Copies of this chain bind each other. A is one copy, B any other.
Amino acid sequence: MRFFPGGRQVVIGEYESLIKAMTKANIPIVASCGGEGVCSRCKVLIKEGQVKSLSTGKLTGEEQEQGYVLACRSFPESHLVVEVSEESKLGVHQVVLGEGGGNLKGRADGSKPGDSILSGSNGLCAGGSGVPLFRKLCLVMPEPDINDSEDDLGRLVRVIRSVTGIKHLQTNLDVLRTLPQVLRQSGWKVTVSLTGDGRYQAVEITEVEPGHTAGQYYGLAVDIGTTSVVAQLVDLENGRVVGIKGTYNKQAAFGDDVISRIIFASEGGLGELQKAIVDTINELIEELAKEQKIKPVDIRAVVCAGNTTMSHLFLGIDPTFIRIEPYTPATNSIPAVRAGHAGLNTHPLALIRCLPGIGSYVGGDITAGVLITGMAFSGKLTLFIDIGTNGEIVLGNQEWLISCACSAGPAFEGGGLRHGMRAMRGAIEHIKIASGGADVEYKTVGGAPPVGICGSGLIDCVAGLYRAGIIDRGGNFITAGSTPRLRESIEGMEFVVSWSGESGGRVDITISEAEVKNLIRSKAAVYAGIRCMLQTVGLPAEAIDRIIIAGGFGQYINVRDAVNIGLLPDVPVEKYSYVGNSSVKGAQTALISGRAWEEIDEIIHKMTYMELSAGSTFMDEFVSALFIPHTDLNLFPSAQS
């Protein structure tokens, strides 16, 4: 019997399957289903001779006509010439992005659907050299004989390497101690567990089980946000997201924002904060496991993306100096940690990898965002904006990346307002104010009775007040020609967005002059950050090819109104898109693709951080941006019309 390519020959006995013959000829093959005839991974082409096939599995009629058979279910009946396709030899590399790529929701208001955003990353992840953080492989190995008496581990490594291309393979003592028996008792057919940390392509053989072990294995991608935590359960065999859950970060009990948590940690509360976030994630694991009917111990790899402070707190690393000049974190690049060591309720040996960041204020969540937009490998100039309490902004393309963080304050998350709230049920998310301000139309999340105003509603509101002539460019209420909605309160002028009783609302929902000015300061900070970056690289806003908005805030935002108040640059709305929770998506990509880790290394390497507070440029830009839309109206030509 001869095999192509390579031309190796082998003589086999009766009742020996083709797959057996291949292992004799030292052609390692991936038997994903363990030779049960159901995965069709072992497909080969019979060029000459007769075989008897017991099953055709998933082979198409066309394939069968061409002469393809399943090697595991076929027995030679004559001399054969067999062609082994590359697909059968290397099929395991094909990482499917699955839900991760298709999950993006396009915005309704004219921005492009998100899937185009991912093309760069998609292309990269489908490549051949990626090594996911965990996977299992079923291997049928050639048996040793007097001409090939390599040691057991060497043989195993040789076969894994030829199937996967992984360069550096290690193992541990527990595997080695029983390896000789496992290999021989299983008849040289084993399932190996491979655990990597995504770096240097160093992979550890963490388990060798006899035969083809059924059962699935999963990974967890976690977005550790200051406010909320989102976890995705990913089937690591095919890269598909099988479940997703979110909840509030239990750390909120110790302070709302990053700064207050750091202070609490520095004063002896680090352990409590660590426990709070570990508990939060364990709760999500439990829910996901229950929903998907899996055992938490089947989760074999974890990737977390969070800001630098969250990453520190999650692993109990002292964050004190993140908030003290010169703002140095303990590390931007957290080493791989065993889940057991970190307290997560997954497989105790599962490796946890936190996505690295580049500084105290540009963390792994931003790296995740840059990763999934593909902007670091695109010729298009991209602006990535993640707005929460902090606005993190990245500008760049395949040549360079520049990032900054500006303190936007809590306004965009509905904080600091009497009637502000997050974008939950009952939050006013869109507002239209008729000229003069007498008529107000609004839409609440879930169509529920109005309870408060969320960030996007606030932007709409300020844009509407300005358009209706109720506020001037500086955010001052113009009392002349006023409507009943404009009234005096103890805290100064305020505008009634919704009357109590109206649509079931229980109180008057208002916005005060102070609150309008507060929002203007927030939008000025973000816009000034964008301007500083553009000036640093000497480019006008028109040079930007696409603007990608991430984070919960972006979900409801009306881009047109955000441009009108001067929060976002005045470029065609078609250039805007919304990427959703880029943090968890980036974590998911890193979970299923080793190649992603090479990209992450490159992103980290390429990205520079611009400290805004250090230069006077930022203050100048900030002051200029304290108007609607801006002091320099030439920057907002469309807003003028």
Contacts and interface: CB of A to CB of B under 8 A. Distances in A.
Interface of A: 144-146, 148-155, 168, 170-173, 176-181, 184, 200, 202, 315-318, 320-321, 325-335, 337, 341-342, 359-360, 611, 614
A327 B149 contact: yes
Given A144-B326, A146-B614, A173-B337, A151 B331 contact: yes
A103 to B, nearest CB: 32
A326 B152 contact: no
Contacts of A341: 173
A33 B173 CA distance: 38
Given A146-B614, A315-B177, A152 B337 contact: no
Contact of A151 (B179, B332, B342): B332
Given A150-B328, A152-B328, A176 B317 contact: yes
Contacts of A151: 328-333, 359
Given A168-B200, A173-B335, A320-B180, A152 B329 contact: yes
A203 B233 CA distance: 34
Contacts of A184: 321
7 pairs of A and B residues whose beta carbons are closest in the complex = A153-B331, A149-B326, A151-B332, A146-B326, A180-B318, A151-B329, A180-B330
Given A317-B177, A335-B173, A341-B173, A330 B153 contact: yes
Q: What is the oligomeric copy number?
A: 2
Contacts of A321: 152, 180, 184
A315 B179 CA distance: 13
A152 B360 CA distance: 11
Contacts of A611: 146
A336 to B, nearest CB: 9
Contacts of A360: 149
15 contacts: A145-B326, A149-B326, A149-B327, A150-B328, A152-B321, A152-B328, A153-B330, A153-B333, A171-B335, A172-B335, A173-B335, A179-B331, A180-B318, A180-B321, A180-B328
A171 B176 CA distance: 25
A145 to B, nearest CB: 5
Contacts of A171: 335
Contacts of A325: 146
Nearest to A274: B177
A168 B181 CA distance: 35
Contacts of A614: 146
Contact of A152 (B154, B178, B181, B331): B331
A181 B332 contact: no
A203 to B, nearest CB: 13
Contacts of A333: 151, 153-154
Contacts of A337: 173
